[in-house]
Amino acid sequence: MSQTKSRKKKRPSILQSLRSSIRQSVHNAILPWLKASVKTWHGRLVLAGLTVGLCYLPAWLPGLITRAAQGSAGLPLLSVMVFLGLQQLWKRRDQLAQMHASEEDQFLGHLLIGCSVLLFPFCRFAIWPQSILWLLALAGIACSTWGVSFFWRYPVAVGMLALTAYPKPGVMARLVWTALTPPEFLERIMAQAGATALRVIGHPAIADGTVVALPQGAVDVDWGCNGFNMAFTMAAAGLIMGLFLKQTWLKVLGMMAIGAVLALIFNVPRIMLLTIASVYWGDAAFKFWHGHWGGQLFSSVLFTFYYYAAMALANRRRPA
């Protein structure tokens, strides 16, 4: 009897499948859209506005990648926000196809795009003016394509995409916080909470302004240790998680509040540990817990507690 060897069909790899889908998308959707766009003034201005985004991308992305390698959650958070914002628009693509901008809206949108394109080459000296001009270009594209009513008909998508224009949303949140609160407001609260917690476990700690002092030494609770950045990150994570799980707005706000409060609560034992490490354990221990790895350990514990709290809220049913 002759033996026949069965030949296994080679399945395309994930990378090959991705390349194939990208080629099909470019060939079937993007190229026809580009050919149609260059035939009208509106299409040419839209392409010019999108070119501003392409020029801004090399300034927007590298910093996020660098901070992500250092443990920052900015890149995944902004990536998810872009995805969710575009998803909101994609789900309503039939409604968007029926929306048309008036002549006044088109003029306003084209004016915004034109200003963004003309000013962008002269505003490459920093990230913040580039982000503003990219935001103006996006607003002009939306206004000239769908009209001004687009912004209040789809506020979630508009807000999600607007927040991603600047690669450091925490910096913008800090500016707003410092403008609305007294100087060193949160730092003083955290110092008082840390000193009180240390006294509870038997350490004679006192708080003087932003300083947590022990008889053998003291630490200063600076901005980076007041818990604001982590609270902002957890609130953003709550927003994304609530939208991803398709929760009501009341539950989304609850998830955001839970994340921010847990971040501030968990920051108190971190201040306690940093104080003890600085005073009793030496510089090496302080640098470890104050650095990347120590921050990652605290973040991991925080995210674990937050996940179970957020899921408990998401699974909670309204009483009959």
**Tens-place pLDDT, residues 177-188:** 888 899 899 999
- Please tell me the distance from the alpha carbon of residue 72 to that of residue 200, in angstroms, as a whole number: 32
CB distance 137 to 165 below 8 Å? no
Is the per-residue pLDDT at 319 higher than 70?
Answer: no
Dihedral angle computed from the Cα positions of residues 164, 70, 279 and 303, in that order, rounded to the nearest 10 degrees: 60
Tens digit of each residue's pLDDT (9 = 90 or more) over 192-223: 999 999 999 999 999 999 999 999 999 999 98
Amino acid making up residue 100 = H
At residue 71, the pLDDT reads 59
At residue 64, the pLDDT reads 82
What's the mean per-residue pLDDT of the chain? 85
The DSSP annotation for 37-73 comes to: HTTSHHHHHHHHHHHHHHHHHHHHHHHHHHHHHTT-S
Alpha-carbon torsion 287, 289, 294, 295, what sign?
negative
Tens digit of each residue's pLDDT (9 = 90 or more) over 237-256: 888 888 888 888 899 899 99
The DSSP annotation for 277-305 comes to: IIIII-HHHHHHHHSHHHHHHHHHHHHHH
Is the per-residue pLDDT at 46 higher than 50?
Answer: yes
Tens digit of each residue's pLDDT (9 = 90 or more) over 148-177: 999 999 998 898 898 889 888 778 788 888
Q: What mean pLDDT comes out for the span 133-138?
A: 95
Q: Which residues contact 12 (CB under 8 A, 6 or more apart)?
A: 20
Place of tokens 């687009």: 150
- Count of residues for the chain? 320
Q: Is 221 left (phi over 0), alpha (psi -120 to 50) or beta?
A: beta
At residue 114, the pLDDT reads 94
Is the per-residue pLDDT at 6 higher than 70?
Answer: no
CB distance 128 to 166 below 8 Å? yes
Q: Which residues contact 27 (CB under 8 A, 6 or more apart)?
A: none
CB distance 138 to 165 below 8 Å? yes
Tens digit of each residue's pLDDT (9 = 90 or more) over 255-287: 999 999 999 999 999 999 999 999 999 888 888
At residue 151, the pLDDT reads 93
> For the chain, first and last CA: distance in Å?
73
CB distance 57 to 63 below 8 Å? no
Is the per-residue pLDDT at 23 higher than 70?
Answer: no
Tens digit of each residue's pLDDT (9 = 90 or more) over 61-77: 888 888 776 656 678 78
Sort 295 into a burial class: Cβ within 10 Å, 0-12 / 13-18 / 19+. Answer: middle
At residue 25, the pLDDT reads 55
Cα diameter, the chain: 93
At residue 3, the pLDDT reads 42
Q: What mean pLDDT comes out for the span 87-106?
A: 90
